Amino acid sequence: MALMSYPNLNAIHYKGFGGFTTQEECEEKRIITENGIANMEIDRGNTVFIETYCMEMWAFPTQFDAPRKKPVNPAEFGA
C-alpha cells in the first residue's frame, strides 16, 4: 500500500498494489513502486511525501501458479 500526502490538502491519498506471494517479493516491489510514484509526481511538478508498506492479507488462494484453463468459447453460451 502506498500512502501519499500533498501540501495544502487535508486528505491522505492511497493506492493498493497486490499480487505478491512472498514478503521478499513485496519488499522488492515496494521500493520500485515508491520510486515510480515519486518520479511521476516530480514530473508533474508536485511536492509529495510517500510511504509504502507491505501488509499481509488473505483474500483468495493465489492463481499465479494454477494451470491455465482453456479459453471460453462464446458460442457455447447459447444466447
42: amino acid identity, one letter: I
* Higher-pLDDT residue of 65, 2: 2
pLDDT reported for residue 66: 72
Residue spans per domain, the chain? 2-55
Instruction: Assign 77 a pLDDT band (cuts: 50, 70, 90).
Output: confident
Query: What is the tens place of the pLDDT at every residue in 18-76?
Result: 777 788 988 998 899 899 999 999 999 988 899 998 887 776 676 667 777 777 777 77
Left, alpha or beta for 42 (phi > 0: left; psi -120 to 50: alpha)? alpha
Nearest C-alpha neighbor of 41 from the set 6, 2, 1: 6
- The pTM score is 0.61
CB 11 within 8 A of CB 3: no
Find out whether 3 and 55 touch, Cβ atoms under 8 Å: no
